Amino acid sequence: MNKNNAYIDIHVLQTLPPSCVNRDDTGSPKTAFYGGVNRARVSSQAWKHAMREMFRAQFQEDEVGSRTKKLVEMVSEEIRILSPESDAEKKASTALTYAGIKLKDNKAAALFFISRAQAKAIARLVVEGCEDKKAYQAAMKENPAIDMILFGRMAASDPSLNYDAAAQVAHSISTHAVHNEYDYFTAVDDCGEEDSAGAGHLGTVEFNSSTMYRYATVNVREVYNALNERTADAIAGFIDAFVRSMPTGKQNSFANRTLPDVVYVTARRDQPINLAGAFEKPVVSDNGFAEKSELILCDYARKIYANYVGEPEKAFGVGDTISAISEKSTMPELLEKVKTWINTEM
């Protein structure tokens, strides 16, 4: 087995109460047809955005990136910190063009992922009077943010600035069939006439509830090649954010801030393995879906390991049921164990 390969798989079962955390273009909760029935779905993009927001509390400012068109504004701010340049915007615009960024109306032509460290590096070159385009391109490639390495960066104007994503996040789906419901609501005009019997506003909100299977995987070697000694902390932060973050759709209406029923993290040398197939046959309620889903996940994992790939090198779990196929831990303990494995093996 290739010892250079290393993958961390994260499997989560999480029960959401009535909620609408991720909507489609009509305002309905997103769904997917899988195993012959309609499932609740939360897109990978929605959960990755929630994770990136959590990264800002986990990591230092220079370690996280911003996806923005306001590159000129960001770099000019850093230029002014180093030197009171009167034409900072003009110099920032020129510097970014040297770096390979296409600008339109003094903004990036498309959203661009940049780290604060990269903006500072560009500003230093400007203040030093550098006119070497290769130096600006190198500054834009070096000092990548942690989330830039994990989620990738695409620069259509200059593919040399691209980063391939070291992590993959699956769309979350319910382990069972769902049927969307509607909440009919009214709003009263607080300043209306006393004898008015009508409502000031009428409306409906579509929602559902579900036990969801969530999956993500990280290529540890790819992270290590970019971040070196920061690898263990970066991946532990990724796991923690994946487990504890929540997309914010309609959160004020539903207050759906739950934590997972089960977390199952494996370290593998061969390949990542998504265990969504455990729920191709939809779970049927037995006074709830969570406990039955946990048992089905364990049985399916055993079958896949026995028939195809063998046991993972390490397996850590949070939750009573998953301890049948993993080393039982609390969430803080799990993160420390993953960090220890990475630091030992890489």
Mean pLDDT of 48-73: 94
Mean pLDDT of 94-116: 92
Residues 194 and 33: their CA atoms lie apart, in Å, by 49
Closest CA to 210 of 17, 56, 344: 17
Q: Count up the domains in the chain and report the number.
A: 2
Enclosing domain of residue 91: 65-144
Q: Do 134 and 224 belong together in one domain?
A: no
Residue 1: is its pLDDT beyond 50? no
Q: How confident is the model at residue 42 (pLDDT cuts 50, 70, 90)?
A: very high
Q: Do 12 and 138 belong together in one domain?
A: no
Q: Do 14 and 40 belong together in one domain?
A: yes
Q: Do 37 and 91 belong together in one domain?
A: no
Residue 346: is its pLDDT beyond 60? yes
Q: Do 171 and 284 belong together in one domain?
A: yes
Residue 314: is its pLDDT beyond 70? yes
Residue 113: is its pLDDT beyond 60? yes
The phi, psi pair for 205, rounded to 5°, reads -130, 130
Displacement of CA 118 from its chain's centroid (Å): 22
Predicted local distance difference test score (pLDDT) of residue 196: 67
What mean pLDDT is reported for the chain? 93
The residues, any chain, with a CB within 8 Å of residue 3's CB and separated by 6 or more, are 269
End position of a domain, from candidates 144, 178, 213: 144
- Express each pLDDT in 209-237 by its tens digit: 999 999 999 999 999 999 999 999 999 99
Residue 2: is its pLDDT beyond 60? no
Is residue 155 domain-resident? no
- Express each pLDDT in 249-284 by its tens digit: 999 999 999 999 999 999 999 999 999 999 999 999
Is residue 153 domain-resident? no
Is residue 152 domain-resident? no
Is residue 293 domain-resident? yes
Is residue 84 domain-resident? yes
- Read off the pTM: 0.92
Residues 111 and 154: their CA atoms lie apart, in Å, by 9
Q: Do 196 and 268 belong together in one domain?
A: yes
Are the beta carbons of 96 and 122 closer than 8 angstroms?
Answer: yes
Displacement of CA 155 from its chain's centroid (Å): 20
- Express each pLDDT in 146-200 by its tens digit: 999 999 998 877 888 999 999 999 999 999 999 999 988 778 777 777 666 667 7
